[in-house]
Amino acid sequence: MSVRNTGIVCVLILSFGSPVLAVDEEAAEELLKVSKCLKCHSVDKKKSGPTYQEVAAKYKGKPEAEAKLTKHVTEPSKVKVDGKETDHGAAKTRDPAKVKNLIEWILSR
């Protein structure tokens, strides 16, 4: 095999070698419901918390997005709502795969 052909084969392997995993929409939406996130957030309608579209836009292209959102949804914290500090709950799971799926779902809005 020539060097040129080897390069083409490498590009093909890198392009198709690892499957792209899709977000499990149903699982993410179920976790949002169980965790009561939809009380304050929605995909596109303003509630007391930002919409998931606003969150996705805020973090678009930022390398720290996944880490920051993971911390935000897994660790209870305080947030400002209408100028008042209030408790922000955490996702009702400790499964890292479920949390990752949820974060990817939020960022894909």
Binding-site positions for heme c = 37, 41
Output the six-digit token pair for 28.
């993410």
Residue numbers in the known binding site are 37, 41
DSSP track, the chain:
--HHHHHHHHHHHHHHSSPPPPP-HHHHHHHHHHTTGGGT--SSS--SS--HHHHHHHHTT-TTHHHHHHHHHHS-EEEEETTEEEEE---S---HHHHHHHHHHHHT-
